[in-house]
Amino acid sequence: MRAAAIEQTGAETLLISDENMLGSLRSCLEDAQLYRDAGARVSAFAKGFADHRLTIALSVRTYADWWSSAMAFRLGRAGPLPRDALRERMVTQPRRWRYVIEEIARTLPDANVAVWTHEQMAGAPQRVVAALTGQNTFAGAVRVSNPRPTGPELRGVLADAGVDLAAHPALAADDFMPFHPHEVEAFSEQYQEDLDWLRDGAAGFADYLDAPLERAPTEQGRGSDHDREARRMA
């Protein structure tokens, strides 16, 4: 209803951002896998934009940092402690960013899918907006919104809750990083495979915004024909 009202003002492009569209951090931690219902959730949102051209945009991040951030946010809300079993499940879980991207693309075959990395674009949201909408915005200072809790902040919360901090050395550092070096290395290798897949064209499932933008090839059965007649909202 809001999208329809906005369209009546003459708007041609609507950009919607919500961190929980793919699922919640709580669910990811409980499942110890990335957004297992991503396709179904995005499909449900997309029903509100029937007859509009859709672009599903997703930022990915190196796994060690993403899981650490998720755990840090949840620790302050009675989330799981960084125990060995949980960390090992996160490292070995088979669901990677590329599978989340493929699932979304297969669920919504008529939508465009655009992907960028947190590492490259977190400090340049104007680049993301320009790539997604064709509209240039002011490249001013970037304000960090809702930063993840620091080590000292987490120690204060958990100490108040009676948690034995000595049993969790990862909480001692200023920057919370619960994973051991060999786990971080394994994560890095997995992430590099994702990025190589994206750079190689993502099998036609997505456009990779970090690289010089080349549209996903349509001859592979996926990708978008941008010359077709379609309404551009959303």
pLDDT band at 36 (very low <50, low <70, confident <90, very high): very high
- Tracing tokens 């909202």 back to the chain, one arrives at 233
Structure tokens at 232: 């551009």
232 in a structural domain: no
Q: What is the DSSP letter of 165?
A: G
Rg (CA), the chain: 20
At 209, is the pLDDT very low, low, confident or very high (cuts 50, 70, 90)?
A: very high
Structure tokens at 67: 């899981």
Residue 223 binned pLDDT confidence (cut-offs 50, 70, 90): very low
> Is residue 7 predicted with pLDDT exceeding 80?
yes
| Residue 163 backbone phi and psi in degrees, to 5 | -75, 135
- 233 within some domain: no
Q: How far apart are the first and last CA of the chain?
A: 13
What is the tally of structural domains in the chain? 1
49 within a domain of the structure (yes/no): yes
Q: Map 92-154 to HEC letters.
A: HCCCCHHHHHHHHHHHCCCCEEEEEEHHHHCCCHHHHHHHHHCCCCCCCCCCCCCCCCCHHHH
Q: Is the pLDDT confidence value at 24 over 70? A: yes
User: With 90 as the cut, is the pLDDT of residue 175 above it?
Assistant: no
Tokens of 53: 């051209």
Q: What is the mean pLDDT of the chain?
A: 84
pLDDT at 102: 97
Average pLDDT over residues 55-80: 90
Predicted pLDDT of residue 141? 66
Domain membership flag for residue 227: no
The whole domain housing 14 covers 2-220
Q: Who wins on pLDDT, 56 or 123?
A: 56
2-11, 40-49, 96-105, 225-234: range with lowest mean pLDDT: 225-234
Residue 47 has pLDDT above 70, yes or no: yes
User: Is 231 part of a structural domain of the chain?
Assistant: no
Closest CA to 165 of 175, 151, 184: 151
Residue 183 to residue 87: CA distance in whole angstroms: 8
Instruction: Show the tokens assigned to 167.
Output: 């049993």
Residue 38 lies in a domain: yes
Report if residue 230 sits inside a domain.
Answer: no
In a domain, 225, yes or no: no
- What is the tens place of the pLDDT at every residue in 73-94? 888 787 888 888 999 999 999 9
More confident: 30 or 171: 30
Q: For residue 12, give every residue at least 6 positions away whose Cβ sits within 8 Å of its Cβ, in sequence order, or none.
A: 232, 233
- What is the spatial distance between Cα 215 and Cα 217, in angstroms, rounded to a whole number? 6
